[in-house]
Amino acid sequence: MKSIQSSLTDWMQNSSLRERLDRAMQELLTDPFVQSALQRNPDINQESIEQGLVKLYEFRKESYHCETCPGLADCPNMMKGYRPELISQKGALDLHYHPCHLKREEDEKKQQQQLMRSLYVPKEILEASFDTLDRDQDRAEACRKALAFALHANPGENGEGLYLYGKFGVGKTHIMGAVMNALKSRRIGSMIVYTPDFFREMKQAIGDGSFQQKLDMVKSVQVLILDDIGAETISGWIRDDVLGAILQHRMLEKLPTLFTSNYDYEELEEHLAYSDRGGTEELKAKRIMERIKHFTAFVTVEGKNRRSR
C-alpha cells in the first residue's frame, strides 16, 4: 500500500492535476485579502506558500466571511466571533485568530452585566432604533436632538450630553435605547443604568468589596446614560461620593453623560438637596447641578403616557 506522501508525489507529477493546482494557486494569490496579508509578511517565499495552501484558503474564506458579516449569532467562521490573521513563523505560514469587534462588545457586555445587576434593560429598549421610533409631533424635537447627539458624539473631545425631561411614560428611555444602538453602529461604547437600582447596588457593593470596580466602570464608559435620575432615595453619600465622583471624572475626561428624569433641573436640584442627616444641603446639590447643567442640553419630551395603552 502506498504511503500518503508517495500518493501526493504521484498526483503532483500528473500534468493535468498540476495545471489545475497552479491555476487555483494563482487565483488564490491574486485575491486582495491574500495579497495584502502576504505584503505584511515579506519573508514568506514560494515554498512556504505551496506548503501552506490549506491555511491560505482558510484565511481567504474566513476573511470574506468577516467582510460580509451576518452578525455574531450567525458567524460561519470555525471560531465564532474570531477573525483570522496570516502570520509567518520562521518562514512558515500560520494563522492567528483575534476576536472581532462584535465579539469584544458581547464579552464586555457580559462582564458588565455579571458585575452590575442594575444594567438590566428590557429587550424592547435594547432593540429601539431611530428607524422604528415613534416620532410623533410631541416627540419630534427630542428625537431630532437625540439623533444629532448619536451621530456627532465624540467622547474624549466633547463631553456634552443630553437631559431628557418628561412625565412618566412619554418614551424617554426608548429614545435613549435608539441612541445606544446608533452609537453602537459607530463603535462607541455606551452603558445605560436604571439609577434607583444602581444606587442601591452601590450601597451593597461596599459590603462585597466590588464598590470601586463598579464605580470605575461607570466613570470610564464612553457614553453613560443615567435613566430615571431623581426616582432614587437620595442620601448625602450617594450624592457626593457616588454621583458627584462619577460626574467629576466624566467632566474632566470629556465623556458625555445623558439623563432621563421626571424632574426638570430645578426640581432635581431640590431633590438632591435632601440630607438624610436632617435639613437640606443646598450648596452641595447646587454643585452637582452645575456639572449637569453645564454638560447637558435640556430637552423636553412631550406626549401621552404610552404605558397606559
Q: What is the pTM of this model?
A: 0.68
Name the residue with higher pLDDT: 287 or 43. Answer: 287
SS3 string, 158-216, reads CCCEEEEECCCCCCHHHHHHHHHHHHHHCCCCEEEEEHHHHHHHHHHHHHHCCHHHHHH
| Across 125-138, average pLDDT | 82
- Say if residue 225 is exposed, middle or buried (CB neighbours under 10 Å; 0-12, 13-18, 19+): buried
Residue 115 has pLDDT above 60, yes or no: no
What is the pLDDT at residue 1? Answer: 47
Say how many Å lie between the first and final Cα of the chain, rounded: 78
Output the average pLDDT for the chain.
Answer: 85
Most confident residue range from 16-30, 92-106, 211-225? 211-225
3-state SS, residue 90: coil
Residue 72 has pLDDT above 80, yes or no: yes
Residue 33 has pLDDT above 80, yes or no: yes
Residue with C-alpha cell 457616588? 242
Most confident residue range from 49-58, 68-77, 152-161? 152-161
Domains of the chain listed by start with CATH number: 31-99 (no CATH), 103-308 (3.40.50.300)
Classify residue 90 as left (phi > 0), alpha (psi -120 to 50) or beta.
left
3-state SS, residue 135: coil
Residue 93 has pLDDT above 70, yes or no: yes
* DSSP H or E run through 247: helix 244-253
| Across 200-227, average pLDDT | 91
Rounded Cα gap, residues 34 and 167, in angstroms: 57
